[in-house]
Amino acid sequence: MTSIASAPPYYENHGFHPENIYSTRQPVGANPYPPFSTNIPSVPSYVPRVATHQSSRPVAHSSGRTCTSTVKKIIIIILSILLVICCAIAAFFIWYFVENRCLGSLIECGSSGVCMPPSQWCDGVSHCPNGEDETRCVRLFGPDFILEVYSPISKSWYPVCQDDWNDNYGRIACKDMGYNADTYYYSRGVAAEGSFKSYMKLNTSAGDIDLYKKLYSSDSCASGKVVSLRCIDCGLSTRSVNIMSRIVGGSGAVLGQWPWQVSLHAQGIHVCGGSIITRQWIVTAAHCVEGRFSDPYSWRAFAGILNQNEMFLRDGYRVQQIISHPDYDTDSKDNDIALMKLETPLTFTDTIRPVCLPNPGMMFQPNQQCWISGWGAEYQGGKTSNNLNYVMVPLIERSRCNSIYIYNGMILPTMICAGYLGGGIDSCQGDSGGPLVTNKNSVWWLVGDTSWGTGCASPNRPGVYGNMTVFTDWIYKNMQANR
């Protein structure tokens, strides 16, 4: 075994990069330019002489005149091409403005036409002309999905009192988190724990105004119940796991057991895993979509299928957009998370379903039982597995994982370790981007996305996963900005 102290920082897992999937060879005859010949004179040797007006000049000058008219023609052609391009650009902008109003991943401040980057929403500092970036901040807190609204005045989050609350308000709050109205699940009142001192309450006499303008903070809540909001029916698996029961050292999955798991193919080959979070959004790892893998059009997502050989016969879902975390770092694997938006929404069935994103305030215990799944190699250096495998891995405390004999300080707050220090069971190449999930309150939560590890299943080298809880907020903001 190599000494850890002297070993240079070494990553096995800078993405799973199959060879030869992109050929850079140019097809024969693809050169758009005709072969250059030195025999071709730069001025046409024969120019038809057509007198367009009376001229008393000697014939010798006429070739100069035809030359100017050719130049004129060229200028006219260029100008008309430019005009067409300008019109197309203008049409695009008009369309974009009518459709989205804000370019790219920007969120509009109300309907003011002012646009803000997602990072400036709900950051405690007001940027929008009317402060919209701080006045419609909602989140779901803890394992019971308690709806909380941010008060820019007291700079804190308040649970919403169930009194006078209804599904229409629930839909508005879900929309402000980036969910579509068609997946809305329910709003229900749950007994407020003693820990809540203040609430947000609805001012029912306020009339037909914006939900957030109707909310005011209050120390009392008559029903004693707070709103529990589910924007999507997530985290349900119709097949329970066989806890006794490859990944490395795992078992073959059955259909519907990990219904959020997708296989992501680039140029027709399985490259990474991913997790369904809505009908259109997939969570994966940033290192999966780096460099030449950053083009959405080279990807296809396969959902509800266990075997790779079945996928080769199907079309898969096209990817419309890829959003990689802006602070992702290739070397340290800091912020190893990305979002993929599908061109057409998935239809949810027993075998295709979303997993729940972890809410802030969710505590995962050290040693908490989690499950990983994927088509990754079944041993280090092996090839992609044909069938989906899964295995249970316990979480490992960050301080422990960062100890000198494990990863010696390489585990950043955006990462979480899971696996066995004895080795033998782990995720491996090809599992990246895929889910690390846990079951709590009868719901499956996405705890992490498979990111890296030194080798696979080696002693004292557990798997490292993106720490999803720290990304939930980034995910919601980006779903909202790109709805």
Residues labelled as active-site residues: 287, 336, 432
* Residue 323 interacts with ligand ARG (CB under 6 A): yes or no: no
235 vs 462, beta carbon nearer ligand ARG: 462
Q: Which of 463, 467, 472, 482 binds ligand ARG (CB under 6 A)?
A: 463
The residue among 376 and 435 lying less far from ligand ARG, judged by its C-beta, is 376
Between 20 and 56, CB nearer to ligand ARG: 20
Give the shortest CB-169-to-ligand ARG separation in angstroms: 42
Is there a contact between 180 and 167 (Cβ–Cβ < 8 Å)? no
Smallest distance, Å, CB 407 to ligand ARG? 11
Q: Does 16 bind ligand ARG (CB under 6 A)?
A: yes
Near ligand ARG by CB under 6 A: residue from 231, 289, 401, 456: 456
**Contact between 427 and ligand ARG per CB under 6 A:** yes
User: Minimum distance from CB of 429 to ligand ARG (Å)?
Assistant: 5
Residue 204, classed as helix, strand or coil, is helix
Q: Which stretch binds ligand ARG (CB under 6 A): 162-170, 237-245, 398-406, 426-434?
A: 426-434
Rounded distance between C-alpha atoms, residue 374 and residue 101, angstroms: 39
**CB-based burial of residue 243 (10 Å sphere; 0-12 exposed, 13-18 middle, 19+ buried)?**
exposed
Shortest separation between residue 285's beta carbon and ligand ARG, angstroms = 7
Q: Which of 170, 178, 259, 430 binds ligand ARG (CB under 6 A)?
A: 430
Distance of alpha carbon 397 from alpha carbon 432, whole angstroms: 21
Give Cβ neighbours of residue 338 (< 8 Å, ≥ 6 apart).
Answer: 283, 284, 285, 286, 288, 289, 322, 323, 324, 325, 328, 433
Total residues contacting ligand ARG by CB under 6 A comes to 16
Q: How many CB atoms neighbour CB 278 within 10 A?
A: 24
CB 132 within 8 A of CB 109: yes
Helices (H) and strands (E) in the chain, counts: 7, 22
Rule CB under 6 A: is residue 453 a binding residue for ligand ARG? yes
Please name which of 144, 150, 109, 169 lies closest in space to residue 473, comparing C-alpha atoms: 150
Asked if 450 interacts with ligand ARG (CB under 6 A), we say: yes
| Interface with ligand ARG, residue 159, by CB under 6 A | no
In whole angstroms, what is the distance from residue 215 CA to residue 202 CA?
5
Q: Which of 431, 436, 467, 471 binds ligand ARG (CB under 6 A)?
A: 431
Rg (Cα) of the chain, in Å, rounded?
29
Residue ranges binding ligand ARG (CB under 6 A) = 13, 15-16, 376, 426-432, 450, 452-453, 456, 463
